[in-house]
Structure 1
Amino acid sequence: MSATRTARLERSLLLFPLPLLLVVFYLLPFFGVVSWSFTLPETGFGQYQRIATDPAIHDMLLRTLRLCLTVSLLALVIGYLLAYCWVFSPPFWQRMVEICVFIPFWISVLVRAFGWLIALRSNGVVNDSLLSLGWIDHPLQLTRNELGVVIGMLHFMIPYALFPLLSSMRQLDQRVLLASRGLGAGALRTFWQVLLPQTLPGLLGASSWSSCSAWASSSPRCCWAAGRR
């Protein structure tokens, strides 16, 4: 019994630094910010009253929510397709997907934001390519609007959706999919009844991770929508 208690004590001591770090670097700053909301610039509930009554703040929150939901949904769809292609592709194409998706993580967030701002402007590479191909007659307005924000944020959020989905896809038994097709199930039925249920945990993780990241990415949104009222 003494050995069991000693082992439990050792495990508790090993785990103790983690909750301590959470309390010091997360809970204390969080409650500090909450207390400031009731005291700055003056004591009371004025800040929350303004949030509840100001139409401009309501419009901003609804617009942000719409953008985040749109980007999260698109990131899930594209991330799911990329994860599926990654798992069921030859090694060469797996490496290509990794290069295209993972390398941007080595670049600063602001550098990527300004890079998209330059690429999407009227004389940027996107408009120049479309004009040279004859697909458009005049440059499209891809910056300083919600479309530019969605395009830029989507590039940021796809990796956050892809990582959890890859984890689920790697654990997928491909023989189950082959058995489903062999028993006469079509591609759509195989997806809904076989593939989707087995990858649902990764899909839920990807949705929560990408939506939280989209909601928190304020700096890139400011770059892409600067000057827009």
Structure 2
Amino acid sequence: MTAADHQPDAPMNERALDRQARAEQRNLMALSLPAFILVGSLVLLPMGWLFWMSIYGADGFTAENYTRLLHPSYKKTLITTFELAFLVTGLCILLGYPLAYLASQLKPRMASLVLLCVLFPFWTSLLVRTYAWLVLLQRRGLINNWLMEWGLIDTPLKLVHNFTGTTIGMVHIMLPFFVLPLYASMKTVDYDLMKAASNLGASPVRAFWQIYVPLTLSGLGAGVILVFVLSLGFYVTPALLGGGRVMMWAMQIERSMAVYADWGAASALGVVLLVMTLGILWAFARLTGAIGATEGK
């Protein structure tokens, strides 16, 4: 028997493998169907219902709920929401990256202690933490009293019921969400790469920026997305530490439902915020993908 006798069987084997692969894919889809139905019921259906309420009113289809968003008050709350989200995310990067780097370079016991301090706020209710900052930052709070006793200020600083107090409280709550994924990414970096770069003549700063930072971009991106998205939907902290002077869209949505009982306007606010958030996340994904492709070249 020659090799030519086996040639007709090769296409048949390939077709059989293709049929088997398609059958496996159909089986996997069938097994995943309950999960898809559950996700569709819990996520997609409420989103569709939200969009429907925003365009359908008592008199039928209407765009009034969206046109009213052009009012200056809505624009102001939208700008405030994104300003706070970007500011909190930036401060979490400035504070969280050195903290995660320190924890990743320490010995296991000391690293565990640092992470315990990072995780400690999770053991306390969000409402309790927000009221604690309210006590610390008020005009006769501990911080102002200490600063006045040390002679650093003559009059109490306005640290609460404004943009500053809201930012401080949100950064404190969001910081663990940034540090944890970044720390996990840093622990996977082989530190011998830094030593190799140093042996090849790179300075510590250059090795850090050109080797270490790019290798931690996945954790950095995950932390940024978590902090940014969660900051956009904050309600309790801005409501308490902002004192009604810092109005975010989550508070605007609550006011539309609780005060005015206008579900259409609240739905339109939610839809616009969702679309803008998805757009920013898409742009962020494209940006990080372009950076990764450039570094790969």
- TM-score, with structure 2 as normaliser: 0.70
Query: CA offset at residue 45 of structure 1?
Result: 0.8
Aligned to 1:206: 223
Aligned residues: percent identity?
32
Counting only pairs closer than 5 Å after superposition, residues 2-41 of structure 1 correspond to structure 2 as 8=25, 11-40=28-57
Query: CA offset at residue 3 of structure 1?
Result: 7.5
Counting only pairs closer than 5 Å after superposition, residues 25-64 of structure 1 correspond to structure 2 as 25-40=42-57, 43=60, 44-52=62-70, 54-64=71-81
Residues 1:222 and 2:239 aligned together = yes
Distance 1:14 1:116, change over 3 A: farther
How many angstroms apart in 2 are the aligned matches of 1:153 and 1:165?
A: 19
Aligned to 2:147: 130
Query: CA offset at residue 110 of structure 1?
Result: 1.7
- Structure 2 unmatched runs, 5+: 1-15, 247-297
* Pair member with larger Rg: 2
Larger deviation, residues 185-194 vs 7-16: 7-16
- TM-score, with structure 1 as normaliser: 0.90
How many angstroms apart in 1 are the aligned matches of 2:84 and 2:205?
A: 29
Distance 1:41 1:136, change over 3 A: farther
Residues 1:66 and 2:67 aligned together = no
How many angstroms apart in 1 are the aligned matches of 2:67 and 2:177?
A: 35
- Structure 1 unmatched runs, 5+: none
Query: CA offset at residue 127 of structure 1?
Result: 1.8
Q: How big is the alpha-carbon RMSD for the aligned residues of Structure 1 and Structure 2?
A: 2.1
Aligned to 1:112: 129
Deviations for 1:122-147, whole angstroms, at most 9, x for unmatched residues?
12222223233333222211101101
How many angstroms apart in 2 are the aligned matches of 1:170 and 1:108?
A: 29
How many angstroms apart in 2 are the aligned matches of 1:24 and 1:222?
A: 31
Query: CA offset at residue 40 of structure 1?
Result: 4.3
